[in-house]
Structure 1
Amino acid sequence: MWVYSTDKPFKVGSPTKPRTEIRIKGYDYSSGVWQFEGYVYVPSGTNGFSVMQIHRANGEKLPTELMLMVYGGELRFYPWWVVENDIYDRWMRLNVVHDVEANNLWVYVNGVLKLEAQGNGVSNFYFKRRVYEQSDASNYMESRWTDIKVYRRD
């Protein structure tokens, strides 16, 4: 997936920035323990975009439960916390686990726990992989994905 910073938003009049997204349909959830797994590759020179998200489906004030972003060759939880360094030009297995009732999130890179965080409470959720421009974006942004899986444990 790719996008240019000069691309238009998804609909006329939208205040959002350019994006290419794929929603994982058929796996919306509101309870249990869910896991997103996929292999992601981010080419060097791309910066300032979201690569993966757990979205809240109810149009709530906080629309995201988790957002993983690319800044300066780092994978970050939102723009603040570094999850993995030196991510450019290599394939990484990304696992994101969400325990809804416990309100916990875990992010693993290549099988190693890199982040544990609290969620924003119960809602309806779904997974997205994406290239969605954020601040300080490069002109061209890209992420490559393969072998996507979603697991559920109740």
Structure 2
Amino acid sequence: MDRKDGRTKYVLRGEGAGSVFVIDEKTGNIHITKPLDREEKDEYRLIATATDRQTEHALEPSSQFIIRVQDINDNPPVFDGGPYSATVPEMANIGTALGGVACGVVGWTLRTAVPDLDRESQDQFLVVLQAKDMGGHLGGLSGTTTVTVRLTDVNDNPPRFTQSKWPLITI
């Protein structure tokens, strides 16, 4: 309905109108004023109206539209919480589960890979976990965390005296 005589004024209302989105009141062209972040807000609902500049009456029904923000890979995977720790009995079978930590919406499970973990030789291990998005392909981002794995004792060693003779103590 714009007759190009300068009487038509375009008005924008809705989420982000005037701050994130601005409309050229003479042409009706809509522009953004700052970068959009899908993690902050994934869509905006706007209403554009062509009005008569003098009477402020609508020249035609308003147009309602939704702007959907597309995601780009701009945030690396993040492990929620931490520091992390897990326990497992010494001499546990291969494949014994130690625990899981949420990384975004994806969880992990840590399992033993060797059968002869001996607490008397080493009572804890530091395991570095790395999560990669985009299936680890080029351009993907990653995040890391550390898990302290402590071995719990199993009664697998008989008691031993450190000396063959002990002095007699009377109480």
- Using the size of structure 1 for normalisation, the TM-score is 0.24
Bigger Cα Rg: 2
- Using the size of structure 2 for normalisation, the TM-score is 0.23
Structure with greater proportional strand content: 1
Q: Which has the higher contact order (CA 8 A, sep 6+)?
A: 1
